[in-house]
């Protein structure tokens, strides 16, 4: 008897589905659309750390820079586990030249060492109240240092900038190079040996990183949309990365190669947070501004905006988006 009941149940169920096939398929399609739409609409809920593939380490023996797919540990361990299966291992290479050598290299090749101490606001003080905050400075939205690049604002099509070498294989916008090197020297003088993990990336490099990750997901069986979503959580969509205009740097220190939240608590992470504005750099994606930037806390990603804006934003606890909202 029970078998008969089960058979009858499935018979009626099949009959019901056959009669209502249109209604059921519409409901299913609506659900799929809702799921896709909601995941695109709320980027702040999407983990976004780890978009720093293609990181760089320096071989101490050869002095050569090595590219490696650097997995970022961002608390999303599922993602991390998956990626480690694909061979994107965390770089653990102790043969990394320190910034002394890096700076010496630059100075030797260029012969323009700048040893003068930093003037004005770069005095060693943590009392921000006493500092001039540049609130009456005439900021311009056309200033190259203040260009806004994020998920909503792509790099302008004809954007051009002068490129200069930091080391043989590392480049940046030439106009900020002196401030960058000054920052590294100042840190070094206080016993903090900063190292750049990822400097300027060409658009093509960014595209390659992105495509490579996409392919990995598609090969694993994800749909195009799913693969795109997962990839864009880990790697900035090409055309939207500050690395592509030579204004952003992923920075950690000697012996610390992971781009993760714990870096913030290291001496170098703290030093950068407290002092980078004196050299024109800001922590671009602060912890308490994730709902505005749409990007998870990235204590390693520093963006050049110039001393005036960096000081203003730091002393007023503003992120780049808030600065733009208030000033422009
Ligand atoms: Zn970065």
Is there a catalytic annotation at residue 298?
A: yes
Average pLDDT over residues 234-240: 90
| Spatial distance between the Cα atoms of 229 and 62, rounded to a whole number of angstroms | 39
The two counts, helices (H) then strands (E), for the chain are 11, 8
DSSP 256: B
Place of tokens 């055309």: 239
Residue that the structure tokens 């930037």 belong to: 293
The domains found in the chain, sorted by start residue, are 1-41 (no CATH), 50-327 (3.30.1380.10)
The pLDDT score that the predictor gives to residue 235 is 85
20 Cα–ligand 1 center, Å: 52
pLDDT at 95 over 50: no
> How would DSSP label each residue in 63-127?
--EEEE------S-HHHHHHHHHTT-PPP-------HHHHHHHHHHHH-----SPPPGGGSS---
Ligand 1: distance of its center to the CA of 50 in Å? 9
Among residues 69, 76, 298, 308, the one annotated as catalytic is 298
Distance 232 CA to ligand 1 centre (A): 14
pTM, rounded to two decimals? 0.63
Strand partners, 196: 251
Cβ 313 vs Cβ 282: under 8 Å: yes
Task: Indicate the angle between helix axes 224-234 and 77-85, nearest 10 degrees.
Answer: 110
Q: What are the pLDDT digits (tens) for 130-175?
A: 789 999 999 999 999 999 999 999 999 999 999 999 999 999 999 9
């Amino acid at each position: 008897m029970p078998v008969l009941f089960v058979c009858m149940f499935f018979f009626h169920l099949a009959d019901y589905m056959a009669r209502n096939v249109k209604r059921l398929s519409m409901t299913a399609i609506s659900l799929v659309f809702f799921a896709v739409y909601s995941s695109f609409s709320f980027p702040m809920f999407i983990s976004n750390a780890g978009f720093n593939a293609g990181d760089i380490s320096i071989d101490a023996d050869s002095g050569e820079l090595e590219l490696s797919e650097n997995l970022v540990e961002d608390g999303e361990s599922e993602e991390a586990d998956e990626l480690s299966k694909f061979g994107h291992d965390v770089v653990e290479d102790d043969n990394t030249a320190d910034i002394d050598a890096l700076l010496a290299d630059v100075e030797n090749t260029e012969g323009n060492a700048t040893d003068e101490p930093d003037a004005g606001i770069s005095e060693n003080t943590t009392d921000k109240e006493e500092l001039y905050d540049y609130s009456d400075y005439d900021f311009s939205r056309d200033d190259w240092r203040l260009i806004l690049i994020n998920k909503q604002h792509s790099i302008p099509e004809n954007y051009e900038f002068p490129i200069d070498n930091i080391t043989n294989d590392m480049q940046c916008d030439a106009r900020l190079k002196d401030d960058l090197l000054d920052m590294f020297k100042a840190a070094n003088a206080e016993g903090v040996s900063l190292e750049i993990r990822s400097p300027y990336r060409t658009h093509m490099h960014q595209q390659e990183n992105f495509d490579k990750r996409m392919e990995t997901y598609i090969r694993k069986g994800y749909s195009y949309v799913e693969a795109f979503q997962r990839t864009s959580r880990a790697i900035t969509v090409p055309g939207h990365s500050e690395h592509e205009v030579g204004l952003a740097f992923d920075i950690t220190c000697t012996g610390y190669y992971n781009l993760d939240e714990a870096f913030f608590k290291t001496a170098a992470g703290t030093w950068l947070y407290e002092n980078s504005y004196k050299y024109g750099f800001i922590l671009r994606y602060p912890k308490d501004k994730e709902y505005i930037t749409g990007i998870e806390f990235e204590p390693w990603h520093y963006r050049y905006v110039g001393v005036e804006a960096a000081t203003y934003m730091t002393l007023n606890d503003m992120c780049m988006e808030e600065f733009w909202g208030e000033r422009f």
